[in-house]
C-alpha cells in the first residue's frame, strides 16, 4: 500500500487481513513504529489486535453487511513521537 488510501471488496463471510505499508514514509523520516492501532467500525469485527512487522501493520477483520462500505483507520505513533493515520475502505459484496 502506498501513502494513498485504498479500497477493497470483501465477502461478508470472509475473514481477511488488511495491511498498511508505512515503510516508505518511515524511511523518509528515519523512524520506526512504536504503537499502532486500527479503528474497526461497527458492523465489522477485529480478529485479534493489529500486528506490527517492521513498517507494516496488519489487521484481520470479518463480517459486514452487503452493499455497505466501511472505513478502517490505522493510526501509528513513531518512536520519534510523530502521529499519522491512513484509511482502507471495504465494500461488502457477495464474491
In a domain, 13, yes or no: yes
In a domain, 67, yes or no: yes
Q: How far apart are CA 63 and CA 76, in angstroms?
A: 24
In a domain, 29, yes or no: yes
Q: How far apart are CA 24 and CA 30, in angstroms?
A: 10
List pLDDT tens digits, range 45-94.
999 999 999 999 999 999 999 999 999 999 999 999 999 999 999 999 99
Total structural domains in the chain?
1
In a domain, 1, yes or no: no
List pLDDT tens digits, range 13-35.
999 999 999 999 999 999 999 99
In a domain, 14, yes or no: yes
Range of the domain at 17: 6-92
| pLDDT in the model for residue 66 | 98
In a domain, 75, yes or no: yes
Output the pTM of the full model: 0.92
How deeply is 50 buried, as exposed, middle or buried, from its count of CB atoms within 10 A (0-12, 13-18, 19+)? Answer: buried
Return the bridge partners of 31, or none.
Answer: none
Q: Work out the number of other CB atoms within 10 angstroms of the CB of residue 10.
A: 20
CATH number of the domain at 63, please.
2.60.40.10
Amino acid at each position: 500500500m502506498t501513502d494513498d488510501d485504498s479500497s477493497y471488496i470483501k465477502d461478508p463471510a470472509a475473514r481477511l487481513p488488511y495491511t498498511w505499508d508505512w515503510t516508505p514514509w518511515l524511511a523518509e523520516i528515519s523512524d520506526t513504529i512504536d504503537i499502532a492501532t486500527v479503528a474497526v467500525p461497527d458492523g465489522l469485527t477485529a480478529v485479534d489486535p493489529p500486528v506490527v512487522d517492521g513498517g507494516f501493520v496488519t489487521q484481520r477483520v470479518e463480517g459486514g453487511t452487503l452493499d455497505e462500505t466501511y472505513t478502517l483507520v490505522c493510526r501509528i505513533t513513531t518512536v520519534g513521537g510523530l502521529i499519522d493515520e491512513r484509511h482502507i475502505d471495504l465494500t461488502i459484496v457477495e464474491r
